[in-house]
Chain A
Amino acid sequence: MPDTLLTWSTLAPATAEISLAAAVCIVLLVDVFAGARSRMLTPALALLAVAVCAALTVRFGHVTERTVLLHGMYVADELGFVLKLVGFLVLAWVLLYSRAYLAQRGILRGEYYVLALTALLGIFVLVSANNLLTVYLGVELLALSVYALVAFDRDSGVAAESAMKYFVLGAIASGALLYGMSLLYGLTGTLDLAEIAVRLSGPLSLGVILGLAFIVVAVAFKLGAVPFHMWLPDVYEGAPTSVTLFIGTVPKIAYFALALRLLAQGLAGTSQEWTQMLVPLAVLTLVVGNVVAIVQTNLKRMLAYSTIANVGFIVLGFVAGTADGYSAALYYTLVYVLAALGSFGVILLASAQGFEADKLDDYKGLYRRDPLLALAMMLLMFSTAGVPPLVGFWAKLRIFQALWETHHLWLVVIAAAMSVVGAFYYLRVIKLMYFDEPPAGLPAPAPAGGVRLALGLNAAAVLALGVLPGPLLNLCARLLH
């Protein structure tokens, strides 16, 4: 048994987690002892830590075969490897975008960086979970870090309120998850996901269905699927924008992994049942997300409903219930994360001291004030709306294709109709930026050269991946063949 011996070589597939855990400790200690200098030091150190951990992961943590270690608690596969690298990359961008915003508001503190890194660790644990306990560990590590992040601007009442809402509702979801897991454990006698998959073949007892229902609820809550979406708009709006940026991007990778590891892999034998549960969820999510987004006046809140709408598409990928459907969902998730990263990045860059830039009206005539920012936002909005030549189009196309392959005619029709409804509110943002005159008295966006370059790259990626979508499509298909 190779995994009875703990040596560096057997632990190599877990390099990402190990190095990140070490990095969290280092950043935390340096931040505490650096005193006044920590304002300069911690952001740079966190970025450096992300870069080093990513480099170590590429060097040591690459696996081509599915490898199970730590007594079956942990699984390393290529999917996990790629998702972790994406996590590193997206987090690096998040940290780049948020620094100026935090500094302007006097909340540039080490906690933001440490909590972001622990959240990332939670994401990694979740991505590589092969056991219900590991799943729960990852979910909670991520969730607790994020609750604290939402509340970390401690002088803001709105943020505290959002954090409380998030915490209470999140605790209920965790409870549901745990309860569902306990039912499964009681009925199958194992916590190991691969083992559960084996033991759940054949006719299902009512208890299994009940456990499954609780797990679906928990997954739907984490993803933000209707009717378990209530927390999402409040948290997106109430949290400091740099935190919204974080919540809106990196954890989505984890929630995709959560759905995949639990439903598609562990509970593969019950896919008939959970796809049935997901259909109404997906339809409701698409309709509510898109329709309610239309009436929003706050851009962060609008993007929250846009997130919900996009989650509807991701859930549709799971509804297909095939490897192709999962790979469509993965592709959609990555594309969505890329676009959300840029959109919230624009909000951060458009904001200034005492100006949150979170109202839709704050974007009137943005083109005049800052052409680059407006151009980037336009590309991102068209991408999320699913208009070629931008990458969001291919994401929608993949979902449609997966649905056709599984003969879901009506879901295709609903999804198509809803993407037209969705186009409206993305167009409205472009309308505000390009067709309206800027109101007087808005502060000029701060010139931040390096961050602008990062945003430019982000928007360029949306266009480049849209014109040449082949490589990423192939990658997603290979990871979930």
Chain B
Amino acid sequence: MHGLLSILIWLPIAAGVLVLVLGDRNIVIARWLALLAALATLAFCWPLWGRFDASTSALQFLEKLPWIPRFNAYYGLGVDGIALPLIVLTAFMTVPVIIAAWSVIEKRPAQYFAAFLIMEGLMIGVFSATDALLFYFFWEAMLIPMFLIIGIWGGPRRVYATIKFFLYTFLGSVFMLAALIYMYVKGGSYSIADLQGLQLTLIEQRWIFFAFLLAFAVKVPMWPVHTWLPDAHVEAPTGGSVILAAVMLKMGGYGFLRFSLPITPDASRELDVLVIALSLIAVVYIGFVALVQQDMKKLIAYSSIAHMGFVTLGAFVVYQIVRTTGGVVGAGMGLDGAMVQMVSHGLISGALFLCVGVLYDRMHSRQIADYGGVINTMPVFAAFMVLFALANTGLPGTSGFVGEFLVIIASFRASFWYSFLAAVTLVLGAAYTLWLVKRVVFGPVTSPRVKALQDVNGREFVVLAALAIAVIGVGVWPAPLLKVMQPTIHHLVSQAIATKL
């Protein structure tokens, strides 16, 4: 189908503008329109997935229109095996966000729905852009709705959190922009394929690598530039946290795979230890930090940082594998793991934030200490929460297992110590997640407020069930996902280990 990607981008944006125009006075229509648009966008992912040719690493569903002739920039869209799953993830996660907010948002609901629809279109734009300028355009434009989402519908410290979020991300991105312009001045094209083919000296690559690292590390986020995330997550409304964790963090990982590895392979090879070290610090140190959190959202936020450490570890362990084993066997496994981990973390962290949202809507508290014995009053909800918590610890049979397992095995080829430290997360992750579950869900009912809790309603059940099916689906049968990515990952490995010097 021609123009499929354009539909995926502009359909939600147009619907978002329409919802905005309808406004709070027509909230019933606006709400249904928002849901319909989100579902329609998801439905359009069906032909995208179905007609995707998984036997090639080439970009597909290509669209190319001249955009800014002066910069030789195109409105260029296309997907390959690493963009496709993330686009589907984006479309999939927007639906529960809309449903979860159905009647919960009291302040300016129409704008809330509109912001998420516009976000969805922009995020799909980021994943499908084949032109670096268009990529950056969507990448930055996304900040505006997210800034407003946290700032308008967030918690008490929302202003601090949202400005911190904006400035951190803006700081990273500006330097990426400078790097992109540098490469344009040198090569005369913003097409990502041309940038990947551009010859760069080692010094140039180093500078560009650091510019990219700043942009993507903030987004992932990697230690030590992660501090905006706990604030943003805690203050954001449920939907904001879900989208932030499920999709926006993935953009950092996507950026490493799409830009850093192929454009600056030699600098990446030279500096891979830096990224691996930061990833392992995220996995181990942030795991300990998560252990001591008192706030449920903050705990999940720190857990996100630790889990995203696997993504960067899986991406950069490639070089160490080549160095240690002298071959490329198994190098793709790290990247496979990074990709699966991104999809899986998107589902699990999104689901956990939705769970916290369900509790928060009833108790208006995120403090772990306020809960206890939720299972007695909300058994169905408790079942879901325990499932997602176990998935978060990487239980086999859930999606969380696949990604972490692949990355740990791949890093074992590189170095015993990498995989040892990475595997620490299995212990730490289990510790902080299960302890959270123990304190919140299990035990006797601790307070009268918990005693008065109502179990999930139909709307919440549908949302959580859909996510549960996805989490278990990817965990039990990850083959389709891996198959779609295979040729692209293979190609990416060859790009990453090639030299431009």
Contacts and interface: CB of A to CB of B under 8 A. Distances in A.
Interface of A: 382, 387-389, 393, 397, 400-401, 404-405, 412-413, 416-417, 419-420, 423-424, 427-428, 430-431, 434-435, 468-470, 473-474, 477
B70 A477 contact: yes
Interface in B391-430: none
Contacts of A427: 147, 163, 166-167
Given A389-B137, A397-B177, A420 B171 contact: yes
Contacts of A401: 181, 184-185
With most chain B CB atoms within 10 A of its CB, the pick from A388, A468, A477 is A388
Contacts of A419: 174
B151 A387 contact: no
Contacts of A423: 166-167, 170
Interface in B35-83: 67-71
Among all A-B residue pairs, the 9 with the closest Cβ atoms? A416-B174, A404-B185, A435-B151, A388-B137, A470-B68, A420-B171, A388-B140, A389-B141, A473-B70
A90 B143 CA distance: 30
Interface of B: 67-71, 136-137, 140-141, 143-144, 147-148, 151-152, 158-159, 162-163, 166-167, 170-171, 174-175, 177-178, 181-182, 184-185
B141 A388 contact: yes
Chain A contact residues, majority secondary structure: helix
Contacts of B181: 397, 400-401, 404
B189 to A, nearest CB: 13
A477 B141 CA distance: 26
A405 B152 contact: no
A387 B163 CA distance: 14
Contacts of B159: 431, 435
28 contacts: A387-B144, A387-B170, A388-B136, A388-B140, A397-B177, A397-B181, A401-B181, A401-B184, A404-B181, A404-B185, A416-B177, A417-B171, A420-B167, A420-B170, A420-B174, A424-B167, A427-B147, A427-B163, A427-B167, A428-B163, A431-B159, A434-B148, A434-B151, A435-B158, A469-B68, A470-B70, A473-B71, A477-B70
A470 B174 CA distance: 21
Contacts of B163: 424, 427-428, 431
B44 to A, nearest CB: 22
A388 B139 CA distance: 9
Given A388-B137, A388-B140, A400 B178 contact: yes
A386 to B, nearest CB: 8
B177 A400 contact: yes
Nearest to A405: B185
A474 B182 CA distance: 20
B178 A473 contact: no
Nearest to A470: B68
B304 to A, nearest CB: 24
Given A413-B178, A416-B174, A420-B170, 13 more contacts: A387-B140, A388-B137, A389-B141, A400-B181, A416-B175, A416-B177, A417-B171, A417-B174, A420-B171, A428-B163, A430-B151, A435-B162, A470-B70
Contacts of A431: 151, 159, 162-163
A314 to B, nearest CB: 18
A393 B134 CA distance: 12
Contacts of A474: 69-70
B116 to A, nearest CB: 16
Contacts of A430: 147, 151
A388 B125 CA distance: 13
A387 B174 CA distance: 10
A416 B178 CA distance: 8
Nearest to B158: A435
A469 B184 CA distance: 17
Contacts of A389: 137, 141
B231 to A, nearest CB: 15
A29 B141 CA distance: 51
Contacts of B174: 416-417, 419-420
B105 to A, nearest CB: 15
B35 to A, nearest CB: 24
A400 B175 CA distance: 11
Contacts of A387: 140-141, 143-144, 170
Contacts of A416: 174-175, 177-178
Contacts of B171: 417, 420
Contacts of A404: 178, 181-182, 185
A271 B227 CA distance: 46
